[in-house]
Structure 1
Amino acid sequence: MDLPVGPPVPPKEAVSPSRTPLPGRSVSLVPLTPDHAPALWRHLGGDANRWRWTYMLGAGFPTYPSCEEAIATWSASRDPLFYAVVVSGEALGLMSYMSVVPAHRRIEIGSVILGERLQRSRAATEAFYLLLRRAFEDLGYLRVEWKANALNEPSLAAARRLGFAFEGVFRKHMVVKGRQRDTAYFSITDAEWPAVKGGLEAWLADGNFDEHGKQKRGLRECREAFKQGP
């Protein structure tokens, strides 16, 4: 008896990401090293930034020694593979590849925490573009995931803005810092990537910003225009 099965996939694995810098125009993603600790402490550490860690798995950097210790540990990790988000030579935030499964050709962008100068910035959007482009075009992944605490509205909104499709909520998925976490799942597939890429590149183009750096078209508008064609 013939039963329905999924379409065949070419018999190859994706490539695990390596500690390779990803340079962009307004931002660079640089493999995390202990040397990034002083800048990351300034932008992510202490009581003033404690709120930024509310939905993260870790508690943040309450003291500079705790920041040094965490950055040293994360610098040696391969999964998650951490990058410092660097603008004008200064590390302003963190992003990573994680949950890397080359055999099934899926990978996640996660452990994202951005300092104030990266919030709602062109540089932050470009950083996500660099990670997505490398995952799909250089490393051979078929699926890039985004997972977030279902209460983390800014993360949910960011996923949708970037072009990730909402897939559902894993209820009571984790216990984080002694509290229940429901986890929202999003993804972009290789079939969706061309439209997502086209929208990102149109939004990031110099012509999409006025002399004050204000966008002319939003990212969703750019993506929909790309889908519709010339």
Structure 2
Amino acid sequence: MSWLKPVTLVGKNIKLEPLSLEHELALREAVCDGELWKLWYTFIPKPELIHSEIKRRLELQQRGSMLPFVVIEQHSGQILGMTSYMNVVAEHRRVEIGSTWYRQSVQRSAVNTEAKQLLLKHAFEILNCIAVEFRTSSFNLKSRAAIERLGAKLDGVLRSHQIVQDDILRDTYVYSILKNEWPAVQQNLTWKLEQSR
């Protein structure tokens, strides 16, 4: 775990803080904003499963394969959702940004753009990542559009990649941003955030 250590990433409007069990009640409240667990093509825990989801992510952190965060609004202190570095491959300096969800009231706002900018900046400028990956369901059109707006390029589609509910198979779209693409992506994200103010 020496390569990827818990860290707080601070932006202008949000901060990403290392996930802990102390965030459970606020995350239960956040996931109820929009009843996010009803999305069939992705996994977002029901309120009563938040505790076990936090524990799962923290266990993966202990194994060195995940670094989970809560997303917090700076001026109110309200928890907006969760995100993670995951599928960590330290020897190849690669991470995936995923397992992300936000309360419905802040979706389609600048929150995701700023969170991704913070995570990408840390990945490329501090961790010296070669590539950062994103994955989403073929049916998650909002997520695919959001990933593409970041400037990520489609690497390919993993057909019948995962079983979701009721034995339905999910095709997974895999995107990435490479280190040499980061300066242009960063410029674009900065511009987008300035436009949203």
Normalised by the length of structure 2, the TM-score is: 0.88
Q: Tell me the secondary structure at the aligned position of residue 83 of structure 1.
A: strand
Is this contact kept in 2: 1:16–1:100, CA < 8 A? no
Is this contact kept in 2: 1:93–1:118, CA < 8 A? no
Relative to 1, partners in 2 of residues 1:117 and 1:47: Cα closer, same or farther, differing over 3 Å?
A: closer
1:171 to partner: Cα distance: 1.0
2:77 counterpart letter in structure 1: G
CA distance in 1, matches of 2:44, 2:96: 21
2:87 counterpart letter in structure 1: S
Relative to 1, partners in 2 of residues 1:36 and 1:124: Cα closer, same or farther, differing over 3 Å?
A: same
| Alignment partner of 2:140 out of 146, 152, 155 | 152
1:142 to partner: Cα distance: 0.8
* Aligned CA-pair RMSD: 1.9
Is this contact kept in 2: 1:93–1:114, CA < 8 A? yes
Q: Which runs of 5+ in 1 are unaligned?
A: 1-14, 214-230
Looking at secondary structure, tell me which structure has more helix per residue: 2
In structure 2, the partner of 1:39 is 26
1:55 counterpart letter in structure 2: Y
1:83 to partner: Cα distance: 0.4
CA distance in 2, matches of 1:49, 1:170: 25
Q: Tell me the secondary structure at the aligned position of residue 77 of structure 1.
A: helix
Looking at secondary structure, tell me which structure has more strand per residue: 2
Q: Does 1:29 align with 2:10?
A: no
Relative to 1, partners in 2 of residues 1:59 and 1:161: Cα closer, same or farther, differing over 3 Å?
A: closer
In structure 2, the partner of 1:170 is 158
How is 1:182-197 mapped onto 2 (pairs within 5 angstroms)?
182-197=171-186
1:59 to partner: Cα distance: 5.5
CA distance in 1, matches of 2:52, 2:161: 28
Q: Does 1:120 align with 2:108?
A: yes
Is this contact kept in 2: 1:43–1:49, CA < 8 A? no
In structure 1, the partner of 2:53 is 70
CA distance in 1, matches of 2:14, 2:77: 9
Identity of aligned residues (%): 35
Relative to 1, partners in 2 of residues 1:32 and 1:127: Cα closer, same or farther, differing over 3 Å?
A: same
Q: Which runs of 5+ in 2 are unaligned?
A: none
Q: Tell me the secondary structure at the aligned position of residue 93 of structure 1.
A: strand
1:54 to partner: Cα distance: 2.7
Q: What per-residue deviation string (whole Å, max 9, x for no partner) do you get for residues 164-216 of structure 1?
A: 001221111122232211111100001111100011112223xx34xxx4xxx
Q: Which has the larger radius of gyration?
A: 1
Is this contact kept in 2: 1:45–1:60, CA < 8 A? no
Normalised by the length of structure 1, the TM-score is: 0.76
1:137 counterpart letter in structure 2: E
Is this contact kept in 2: 1:80–1:98, CA < 8 A? yes
CA distance in 2, matches of 1:97, 1:131: 8
Is this contact kept in 2: 1:107–1:145, CA < 8 A? yes
In structure 1, the partner of 2:71 is 85
| Alignment partner of 1:54 out of 12, 34, 40 | 40
1:91 to partner: Cα distance: 1.2
1:60 counterpart letter in structure 2: P
1:46 to partner: Cα distance: 8.6
2:184 counterpart letter in structure 1: A
